[in-house]
Amino acid sequence: MRKLLIVDDHRLFVDGIRFLIEHATDYEILGVLHTGQEVIPFLARNPVSVLLLDIDLPDISGFDLAKTIRHLYPDTKILALSMHSDAHSINRMIEAGAAGYCIKSAGRDELFAAIQTVSEGGSYLPVDYLTQSDARKDDAVRPLLTEREAQIVALITEGNSTPKIADKLFLSARTVETHRKNIYRKLGIHTNIELTLYARKNNLI
C-alpha cells in the first residue's frame, strides 16, 4: 500500500482531503503536518511514497522545502497543492523538485488522478496550465515566420514541390527556394520531413 503525507496548515481543507483519500482510495495516510519544520524529522522516521505539499506554509516556503526534500529523499514524490494557478508558481515548484501540481479548487477525481500519476513516477500539471503553455509556444513560434513563409510551410507539409508552390502562389521557383531556406534557418531544421514534424508539434498546420 502506498503511503502519503499531507503538509498543509489549513485544517478544514486537510480534514476534507484526508476523508476523501481514506474512504475512496487504497492509499494510507501516515500523517498530517501543519508546519514545514516538522516534515524532515517525520520523513526520517516514516518513508512515504507521496507528499502532498502546500506551498504557502506559515514557517517556511514550500519551494524551499521541496528542494530540501528532493535532495534528502529523492524517492519521495512531491505533489504540490495550492490556490495559486499562475504559471510562475507552477514552474517554480516544478523546478524545486515537485513531480506534480494540483490546484486546490480541483475536483476529487482530478486530485486522485494527480496522486496516482505522481505515485507511479509520472508528472501531473493542471489542464489549464498545459493549454496556456501550448498557446505560449505557438505565440513564440508564429512571429518567427512571415505570412508568406507560413503559407509556404503549409504547402510544403501537404507534399507540394517547389514548382507547384511557385505556381500556386504566383512566385518564381527561386523565390520559393529562398523562402524555404529562410524558414529552415529560422526554425533550425534541415529537411522537409523535419519541417512537417515541427509544424505538427507546434500547431503551424
Q: What is the mean pLDDT of residues 56-72?
A: 94
- 162: cell is 517547389
Q: What are phi and psi of 97, to 5 degrees?
A: 125, 0
Give residue 121's pLDDT. Answer: 85
Separation of alpha carbons 84 and 55, rounded Å: 9
Q: How confident is the model at residue 122 (pLDDT cuts 50, 70, 90)?
A: confident
Question: Cα 129 to chain center, whole Å?
Answer: 7
Give residue 132's pLDDT. Answer: 55
The answer to whether the CB of 82 falls within 8 A of the CB of 152 is no
Give residue 176's pLDDT. Answer: 92
Give residue 143's pLDDT. Answer: 52
Q: What is the mean pLDDT of residues 29-42?
A: 96
Chain segment 124-174, per-residue pLDDT in tens: 888 776 555 544 444 444 557 888 888 999 899 888 899 999 999 999 999
- Supply angle C-alpha 193, 199, 201, rounded to 5: 105
Separation of alpha carbons 29 and 46, rounded Å: 11
Q: Share the mean pLDDT of the chain.
A: 87
What is the chain's Cα-based Rg?
A: 24
Give residue 38's pLDDT. Answer: 97
- Percent of the chain exceeding pLDDT 90 equals 51
This prediction's pTM: 0.64
Buried b / exposed e over 161-185, threshold 16 CB at 10 Å, is ebeebbeebebeeebbeebbeebee
Give residue 200's pLDDT. Answer: 78
